[in-house]
Amino acid sequence: MGKDSGMADMKAIFKKDTFQFFRELGRNNCLEWMAENRERYRCCVVQPFRLLLEELTPAMSRLDGRFDLCGKSGKNFSRINRDIRFAKDKTLYKTHMYIKFAVPAPGNRETGQLYAGLSRETVTAGFRIYMDAPKRDSTIVLVAQTRMMANPKWAKQQQKKLGGKYDSYWYANQKGKWTQQEGWPTEAEHWRRLQAWVVRRKMKPSAALQASFPAELLKIYKELYPILEFTSIP
């Protein structure tokens, strides 16, 4: 890696066994299997994700010194246990893991994130933001919608700049249900209905098996940081 990346030369962080673990978990999604493979989970999933955070931390601190880099589940890592209380999917474990970076918001409300996720067959990385409850206190309403209404050309400018590199989709509330909308939310009406927005790059698992993976993530985060800043940071 080049000196400008802020990261030391190193070997690949992830191996094929990370994806193999998620595939096998998908076929054996139960307490007994997870108990038998708990140490494997730590070695194949937890440890490389923590190493990825360690590798990215210096550069992410320079990108924005307010990022929460505590290394805790929920803050920097998604949880593998599924909350099945209100979910239609009653499987106990998620067959993916995410690393995420966010600037904490007042009142501990939900805010936008720069993220990367590994699942059974896919790697994704980008930006995402979701509506918090209650809606009137959500970052989307308090920050993103307010700025979009004041600067209606902003979303179209982002689409022109980044649309060739990243996929974009958003969710609208239609009759009480979230409905996915393809493309960029470029109109004021989109933002009045917007419940979530994702801008991402989808990659093959082989991308994560390269020593250059942290540097590639950093490039993505630098390109999408202006979206995070506009939608999330007061």
Q: Residue 9 has what pLDDT?
A: 58
Residue tagged 């599924």 (tokens) = 82
Q: For domain 3-232, which architecture applies?
A: 2-Layer Sandwich (3.30)
What strands, in cross-sheet order, belong to the sheet with 194-203? 96-101, 113-119, 123-130, 194-203, 167-174, 177-182
Q: 């955070």: which residue's tokens?
A: 53
Give me the residue spans of the domains in the chain: 3-232
Say what the pLDDT of residue 218 is.
98
pLDDT along the chain (234 residues), means of 10: 52 97 97 97 98 98 97 95 76 96 90 97 97 88 94 96 97 88 95 95 97 98 98 92
CA distance 22 to 44: 10
pLDDT at residue 1 in the model: 43
DSSP summary character for residue 74: T
Q: What is the pLDDT of residue 106?
A: 83
DSSP-assigned beta bridge partners for residue 124: 117, 202
Tally: H helices and E strands in the chain: 9, 6
The residue length of the chain stands at 234
At 183, the amino acid letter reads: G
Is the model's pTM score more than 0.95?
no
In angstroms, rounded to a whole number, what is the distance separating the alpha carbons of residues 113 and 31? 31
Q: Among residues 134, 147, 158, which one has the least CA distance to residue 232?
A: 147
Is 194 strand, coil or helix?
A: strand
